[in-house]
Amino acid sequence: MAVGDVVSATYAGANNFQPAVGIECIILHANLVGGAGNFGLTDGVNVGAQYMGNWQNVNNFGLGGMLIARIPINNTVYFTSTTSGGYSGIQIK
């Protein structure tokens, strides 16, 4: 991967996105399916300490919640989700 590359995934069930050591990314969009669960940041120990919401359905596509933001992540503090969903962003370092 290189700076400017898109990072994205869809997943079934709980998921973590932890970049390799020395890589930094910004999550620009995240969503949950079905209205239950949370997503946010973790350091692998303090799981859920910085969760950013538990949204209800926001449109007719069944997405449980959408977050549009700029969330910087790296190998130490990274993105986590408790249920099915997806995310997208870009690599910045």
Q: In which residue are the tokens 């669960």 written?
A: 37
Domain assignment of residue 75, yes or no: yes
Which residue range is the domain that position 35 belongs to? Answer: 6-91
Q: What is the mean pLDDT of residues 74-90?
A: 90
Among 77, 41, 81, 51, residue whose Cα is nearest residue 63: 81
Domain assignment of residue 18, yes or no: yes
Among 6-15, 49-58, 65-74, which stretch is predicted with the lowest mean pLDDT? 49-58
Domain assignment of residue 12, yes or no: yes
Q: How many domains does the chain have?
A: 1
Per-residue pLDDT at 86 = 87
Domain assignment of residue 53, yes or no: yes
Per-residue pLDDT at 91 = 97
Per-residue pLDDT at 73 = 94
Domain assignment of residue 23, yes or no: yes
Per-residue pLDDT at 84 = 85
Report the largest interatomic distance among the alpha carbons of the chain, rounded to a whole angstrom: 39
Domain assignment of residue 36, yes or no: yes
Per-residue pLDDT at 49 = 46
Domain assignment of residue 1, yes or no: no
Question: How far apart are alpha carbons 27 and 46 in whole angstroms?
Answer: 19
What's the helix, strand, coil split of the chain in %, to 5?
A: 0, 45, 55
Per-residue pLDDT at 24 = 97
pLDDT tens for each residue of 18-62? 999 999 999 988 887 765 677 888 898 887 644 555 454 455 455
CATH code of residue 75: 2.60.120
Amino acid identity of residue 36, one-letter, is: A
